[in-house]
Amino acid sequence: MYPVIRLVNRNLTISLNMGFLIWQVVFPLIYIFVAGFAYTALIHEVPFANKRLDYPAFIASGMIGFNIMNSTLVSGIIIWNDRRHGMFEQILVGPFTRTQYILSNVYTIGIIGLISAGLITAVGYPLFFESVEFNILTIPLVVFASITGSILFGSIASIISTRLKSSEGFNVVINTVFLFFAFVSTAFYPAEGAPKILATAFYFNPLTYLVDVVRAGIFGNFNSFVGLEMLVLACGSAVLFVIATNLLSKLEL
């Protein structure tokens, strides 16, 4: 078995416990089924491209992106725990290089991101099946968004985990950053109709791009703006990945 695969195996074993899986499924379910239906009284329909989506379908598709982002916290937590519990050094005195360690984290978050997207797509499917337009061109959009989104948010979590030394600091910063990403985005509500300043802020947030591309994939709405969002997502994830890799490579032992 290749060293990176062995490390991915190890990462998945230490990350995928019952608590994490329940949190990964139950938390979005509450959003989709409780908030989704509760807000239907206030938000009847959400215009999306040439369609009008009901709110549960809109939020269910948004939750796919949201869940991908949340699951990538694993990357930061793995690095943080490895440093805190001495496994980072232990792995690096073993038959592995730093590059392999970093790549294993990327693959881990990619796998978790895809599993997470699959889970929420399956759970949310009954809500958006009327508007869904999966085809050979749109499914790759969801996969693209899942992978680039995982790398992008995984890199952010990794960067935070390399910069902070106390567990309290790590938790506060990561929760604040991800809370901003979650609520200042199009995951829960559309940019159209929001106050202009907020609508602009949505587009300073990578989750918006991730969610938009996922929705374009699910509802079959690919246009030049979505193409541009994909480009931003790809460039953003590449830049942040390089920064995260660089910081991890320089981490003192």
Partner 1 sequence: MSCIEARSISKSYDGILAVDSIDLSVPTGKIFGFLGPNGAGKTTTIKLLTTLVPPTGGTIRILGMDAISNPLEVRKRIGVVLQQPSYEPTLSVEKSIEKYAMMWNVDKKLQKDRMEDLLLAFDLQDIRKKKNDDLSIGHRRRVQVAREFVHDMDLLFLDEPTVGLDPSARRSLLDYIKKRVREGLTIFFTTHILEEAEYLCDEIAIINKGKIIAVDTPAELKNKFGREKTIKIHIDTIRKDLSVLLQGIRDYQIDYNSGTTITIQSHSSENILLKILQILTVNKIPIEDLSVVPTSLEEIFLTMVKNSNVSSD
Nearer to partner 1, 6 or 51 (CB): 6
Q: What span, in angstroms and rounded, lies between the C-alpha atoms of 173 and 99?
A: 26
H helical segments located in the chain: 3-15, 18-29, 36-38, 55-71, 73-84, 87-92, 98-128, 139-163, 167-183, 196-202, 206-218, 224-250
Looking at this protein, which amino acid is placed at residue 83? R
Which residues from 83-102 bind partner 1, rule CB under 8 A? 85-87, 89-97
Stretch binding partner 1 (CB under 8 A), from 2-10, 38-46, 55-63, 117-125: 2-10
Nearer to partner 1, 13 or 224 (CB): 13
Backbone angles phi, psi at 142, to 5 degrees: -65, -40
Going residue by residue from 10 to 49, which x/- string records binding to partner 1, judged by CB under 8 A? x--xx--x--------------------------------
Stretch binding partner 1 (CB under 8 A), from 6-14, 138-146, 206-214, 225-233: 6-14
Burial class from Cβ neighbours inside 10 Å (0-12, 13-18, 19+) for residue 17 reads exposed
Question: How many residues sit in the footprint of partner 1 (CB under 8 A)?
Answer: 22
Minimum distance of partner 1 from residue 91's CB (angstroms): 8
51 belongs to the binding site for partner 1 (CB under 8 A): no
Minimum distance of partner 1 from residue 136's CB (angstroms): 38
- Spatial CB neighbours of 207, under 8 Å, sequence gap ≥ 6: 65, 66, 69, 149, 153, 181, 182, 185, 187
In eight-state DSSP terms, residue 190 is -
Stretch binding partner 1 (CB under 8 A), from 1-9, 136-144, 151-159, 207-215: 1-9
Q: What span, in angstroms and rounded, lies between the C-alpha atoms of 139 and 141?
A: 5
List residues binding partner 1 (CB under 8 A).
Answer: 1, 6-7, 9-10, 13-14, 17, 81, 85-87, 89-97, 253
